[in-house]
Amino acid sequence: MSYQKNYDKWRNYPYLEANLKNLLNALSPKEIEESFYRDLEFGTGGMRGILGPGTNRMNIYIVQKATLGLARHLNNKHAGGKLVISYDNRNFSKEFALEAAKVLVSQGFKVYLFKNMRPTPQLSFAVRHFGCCGGIMITASHNPKEYNGYKIYDDSGCQILPEEADMIIKEIKNIDDYFSIETSKNHHNIHYLEANFDKQYLDLVKTIQLNPDLPKDFKLVFTPLHGTGSTITVDLLKSLGYAVLPVLSQMTEDPNFSGTESANPEDRKAFTEAIKLAESHKALIALATDPDADRVGIAVLHNNEYILLNGNQTAVITMDYIAKYRKKLGTLPENGYVFTSNVSSVLPLEIAKNYGLKTKTTLTGFKYIGAEIRKLEAGTGEFVFGYEESFGSLQKDFVRDKDAIQSVLILAEIAAYLKTKDMTMLDYLKAIYQQYGYYQEDILNLSFSGLEGLAKMQEIIDFFRNKEIKLNGFNLIKKEDFLKQKTFENGKISNLDFPVADVIRYLFSDDSWFILRPSGTEPKLKIYFGVKDVSETSATKKLLALKAAVNHILEEGY
């Protein structure tokens, strides 16, 4: 169906929600095309899009259709089963969660619905705790306020993998009418989860502590950036003796994020208020969780200045601390595993190997790490740590997704430990580099909007996929195309033993690398870079040279 016919169908629907009808009538011709030219797609993080009317926007009709498709899929093997639904602080999150619950109940499922917003990792835990066949999280993670999203979890508490996503998408595509989806008015099969359920999750979070008796004679700042972290994190830290200072202006459940310049803890602007508060109290660290509290950023006081660590650096510190301290305690397993994604730093893997741990690299998306953890249930090994460069990690696997609540707690403990050594996290990081070599990573985000933007992004990807490239100062030894499933090395082509994905990786003789990958949740092309050298200065110089060489291709070469 053409976008114009889709638009006409929505415009002529007499019972269209009033708010959506007003927005629909105000759309420009270009906005009509953007809103209706396709159905909103599933990516690495589920379904995520701009709020508004249309088949390519997030609204109650899209949520109802997606949920009916999910229900039909699950009814093939889990008829009458149970699901959990949670949601974040965004506009319409609570309404979308209830609509999803009503669709599931109409299809014969029992639903556990959080009465108030709660973090993504708590949703993952609840799926496992209640023995559910799946879960739904209404969130757009760190995206701007104009967005919302919909993530689906399987019966292990892990985000669905592509094979199951394809089956759900097939069911969704078989639903022709957005406007006749049954929703139950009988709420007897919706069980609301109250605040007293937090204890079951938090009791397990507390078990990640390796040295709970460390002195906690320092201050730390915490901000949830208006999101779900506000519901449980401060009380958790206080209950364990930490002197936590919440950024009160960002502790409110605000869908418009009015108290922060950014809801993304990767962005220094997200730390503006937190650092102000930290400076006034000389806090050792400031921590920020994203709206659905699966990712955390950290600012560290070092030489009277607050320095932001990136996700890779945080993972390096956490990995080294866990391995070192668990070895000291005698709890480091002989058959322990550490997992990461193929766009993340390899330094934590080197640390893991140094302690006798096994490692495995997956595609981008924590669902792939969750799937690897599930394999360990057969008794083949024990999970130790999982991480991604995008500020997400997991310390214990009672959750099967990134868990910023666990991360906040382990980072607070590391700060306490380092204070006893009169060290900062930057000191600790430097000591690790001196032992293993100086690793540096960075990311370039190229944003695209609209149909023209998507075409431009595809043009860039096609160039790198189909053309040979040369980078000044770098000796290319291998190219891996995860979509073609081919490795190109020394003039020979071999098969690539990795799941299919729209990813291209280049590896150079000096251990440098870069990867191109279109985002699965945003209209962005992401280019990841990594280098290793003998000093911080030389590593920085090499990283800048690698980025400049790739940028030259982007500006001149394709």
Cα distance between residue 113 and residue 98, in whole Å: 8
* Crossing angle of the two packed helices 404-420 and 311-329, in degrees rounded to 10: 70
Cα distance between residue 69 and residue 465, in whole Å: 34
**Residue of 141, 262, 341, 512 marked catalytic:** 141
Q: Which residues of 46-55 are buried (b: 16+ CB within 10 A; e: fewer)?
A: bbbbbbbbbb
Structure tokens at 265: 């803890």
Is there a catalytic annotation at residue 390? Answer: no
Q: Is 525 helix (H, G, I), strand (E, B) or coil?
A: strand
How far is the CA of 449 from the CAs of 208, 235, 319, 399, 525, in angstroms? 42, 41, 37, 34, 11
List alpha helices for 335-449, DSSP H. Answer: 347-354, 366-375, 404-420, 425-436
Cα distance between residue 420 and residue 461, in whole Å: 49
Question: What residue type is assigned to position 102 of the chain?
Answer: K
**Edge-to-edge order in the sheet of strand 190-193:** 42-43, 46-50, 147-153, 134-138, 82-87, 110-114, 190-193
Nearest to 94 by CA among 270, 228, 252, 290: 228
* Crossing angle of the two packed helices 347-354 and 311-329, in degrees rounded to 10: 10
Nearest to 135 by CA among 81, 98, 83, 211: 83
Cα distance between residue 149 and residue 50, in whole Å: 9
Sequence-separated contacts (24+) of 304-310 with Cβ below 8 Å:
306/271, 306/275, 306/278, 306/279, 307/426, 308/268, 308/271, 309/425, 309/429, 310/266, 310/389, 310/391, 310/441
**Burial class for 199, CB neighbours closer than 10 Å (0-12, 13-18, 19+):** exposed
Angle at 432 between CA 217 and CA 414, to 5 degrees: 20
Q: DSSP string covering 451-502, please?
A: HHHHHHHHHHHHHHHHS----TT--EEEEEETTTTEEEETTEEEE--S---S
Cα distance between residue 303 and residue 284, in whole Å: 11
What positions carry a catalytic annotation?
Answer: 141
